[in-house]
Amino acid sequence: MDYADFITTVERQAGVSGEEAERAACTTLGTLAQRLSVGEATDIARRLPGDLRSCLVAEGPPERFHVDEFVRRIAAQVGVDPATAERDARAVFSALALAVGPDEFADLRSELPKDFDPLLDAALVEAPPRPAAEPPAAPILSFDEFLERVAGRTGLDRARAQRAAEAVLQVLASRITGGQIDDLESQLPVELRPALERGRGRTGGRARPMSLEAFVGAIAKLEGVSRSEAAQHARATLATLREAVGEKEWSDTTAQLPGEYQPLLKRETWPDPSRGVAGGPAT
């Protein structure tokens, strides 16, 4: 991504002029540099257009401020209200995600506290698609269809089904490689991307060894439910994931999981969410 592409992305995402986009980009990157280690700021700067590298200069150890302070500093420097500063920062993070790629963006996320997650998640959802040799195929399941199937298989309402699905996908993403996360994201609705990216951000895209007990426990903690409920939600979400990505991606994903995960992966007879009657084995 060159400088013009970066600024145009910010301009379009934030709905501002080119001059305002340039100011927002440099201010946001400069404030971000204050929060990152020198090594991470340097890694990101190397992947940015030359005209933006001078904005991302880290001096000394990272400061330990949270997202509210991050937005406040941007607002004070640019001379706008916090809501406008947050909108502009979100647009800059969208452009940054395109410029540095998912693995480096995950490394960036890993150095920020969890209260940055909503800002980063929104930036990822709003970001334009990365250029590809061929346009990606439309997802097999829409976001609503994915959640409806999880809800039908768990008896949860839609809001709780979304929370369950996102918890399972986040923990799964911390257990598989960054490349496999990319492959899943290419097949899934864009609204599920933030959950996968949160998982990637905790490991930097490096698969973390995790027992079945630890996997279910992590889901239970994220959802705030019992372990038995977490296991049920994992089975339902993974069955829906299989339907959403197809057999090849499903096989590639489960190949990275140890054999003890089979109780969560095996085919089961589920109620058919579209008809409300018993269906065949999950596929």
pLDDT tens track for 55-111: 988 777 889 999 999 999 999 999 999 999 999 999 999 999 999 988 889 889 989
> Burial of 51 by CB count in 10 Å (0-12 exposed, 13-18 middle, 19+ buried)?
middle
Give the residue-averaged pLDDT of 31-36: 93
Q: What is the reported pTM?
A: 0.67
Q: Which residues contact 240 (CB under 8 A, 6 or more apart)?
A: 141, 146, 149, 150, 153, 165
Q: Give the pLDDT confidence score for residue 199 in this predicted structure.
A: 92
Q: At what angle do helices 227-254 and 143-154 cross, to 10 degrees?
A: 130
> Which tokens go with 67?
């997202």
> Which tokens go with 85?
């500063």
Residue 63 or 130, more confident: 63
